[in-house]
């Protein structure tokens, strides 16, 4: 590319570039070289005061990239196998999604030799390492100021993930058999759907957003949060709602299980209540009130709207 100064934003995205030769060492704004044919970051600025985006190239390493980025850092959709050479501290979001990463650790050089250690320490914004080949979260940043997304990898454990997540936490589409090692606090949604969980042991007692454990192999809700916004345990092997959350401020979905009784269901659901696709023959339940719709199709016994409204106080519509 032609030589340019770094006084403002530089956008050289989608130009078919194979080299960053001619870039300034420092950029006072954003630097975007996404969507090119780069195989190396040689020539890239070393300091970026705004966002740095090298996504959608052919990079296998972040060597020669910036060591200081004060905004977002996006290296997603490349062919990276390591995060070595990335900044240890990113003030915005960090995304390395859809690469070929098997670890978040990298070689760290010191006077004592070479050791494997975390490449990232602190992310002020969102952290996204989804769509890789990770089997462990060793090397994960421990402080994440936004969302944490490690979905669609090959994780069998959450050990070494961030302890506190200020936003949403996504670990869906992995091979998890346990939630041991999950963050101690999640201030948004918690999504552990589409894993191989047989238990919710290790889950949080309180989730400030929605909790989704659908599409697992659960036979019990033991370990489930006691308080959530919305709760989705659909498409499991549950026969009972024992240990279900007592307080649900949104929707409650227990559809497509093997549930024979609604005993232990929340007393009040402020959203929709869906118990379709189970083996229910009775409406006997601790459930008193549903502020949204009530769905109960495809059960062992069909229920009429009159039966449901006689059993519960339903504010919304009836679907069967």
CA distance 248 to 279: 23
- Evaluated on CA atoms 278, 283, 284, 285, the torsion sign reads positive
CA distance 127 to 130: 9
Strand runs labelled E in 150-200: 164-165, 169-170, 185-186, 190-191
Give domain limits for the chain. 1-76
Kindly state the DSSP code that residue 184 receives in the 8-state scheme. S
| Alpha-carbon torsion, ordered 237, 242, 248, 250, to 10 deg | 20
pLDDT (tens, 9 = 90+) of the chain, 320 residues, equals 555 666 799 999 999 999 999 999 999 999 999 999 999 999 999 999 999 999 999 999 999 999 999 999 999 999 999 999 988 788 999 999 999 999 998 765 444 555 566 778 889 999 999 999 999 999 999 889 999 999 999 999 999 999 999 999 999 999 999 999 999 999 999 999 999 999 999 999 999 999 999 999 999 999 999 999 999 999 999 999 999 998 899 999 999 999 999 999 999 999 999 999 999 999 999 899 999 999 999 999 999 999 999 999 999 999 99
Instruction: Look at residue 142 in the predicted model and tell me its pLDDT.
Output: 87
Where does residue 120 rank: exposed (0-12), middle (13-18), buried (19+ CB within 10 A)? buried
* CB atoms closer than 10 angstroms to residue 107: 12
Cβ 43 vs Cβ 21: under 8 Å = yes
Instruction: Look at residue 113 in the predicted model and tell me its pLDDT.
Output: 53
């Amino acid at each position: 590319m032609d030589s340019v100064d770094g006084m403002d934003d530089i956008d050289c995205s989608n130009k078919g570039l194979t080299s960053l030769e001619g870039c300034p060492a420092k950029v006072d704004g954003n630097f975007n070289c996404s969507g090119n044919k780069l195989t190396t970051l040689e020539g890239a600025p070393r300091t970026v005061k705004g966002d740095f985006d090298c996504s959608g190239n052919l990079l296998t390493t972040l060597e020669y990239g910036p060591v200081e980025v004060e905004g977002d850092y996006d290296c997603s959709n490349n062919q990276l196998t390591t995060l070595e050479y990335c900044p240890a501290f990113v003030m915005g979001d960090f995304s390395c999604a859809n690469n070929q990463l098997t670890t978040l650790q990298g070689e760290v050089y010191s006077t004592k030799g070479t050791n494997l250690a975390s490449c990232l320490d602190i992310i002020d914004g969102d952290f996204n390492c989804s769509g890789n080949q990770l089997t462990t979260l060793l090397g994960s940043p421990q402080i994440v100021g936004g969302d944490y997304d490690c979905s669609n990898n090959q994780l069998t454990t959450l050990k070494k993930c961030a302890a506190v997540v200020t936003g949403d936490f996504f670990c869906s589409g992995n091979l998890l058999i346990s939630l041991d090692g999950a963050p101690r606090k999640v201030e948004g949604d918690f999504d552990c759907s589409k894993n191989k969980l047989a238990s919710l042991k290790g889950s949080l007692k309180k989730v400030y957003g929605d909790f989704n454990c659908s599409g697992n192999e659960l036979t019990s809700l033991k370990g489930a949060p006691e308080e959530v916004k919305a709760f989705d345990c659909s498409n499991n092997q549950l026969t009972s709602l024992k240990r279900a959350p007592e307080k649900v401020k949104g929707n409650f979905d227990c559809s497509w299980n093997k549930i024979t009784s609604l005993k232990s269901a929340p007393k009040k659901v402020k959203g929709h209540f869906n118990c379709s696709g189970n083996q229910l023959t009775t409406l006997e339940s601790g459930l008193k009130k549903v502020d949204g719709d009530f769905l109960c199709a495809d059960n062992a016994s069909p229920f009429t709207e009159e039966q449901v409204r006689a059993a519960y106080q339903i504010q919304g519509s009836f679907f069967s």
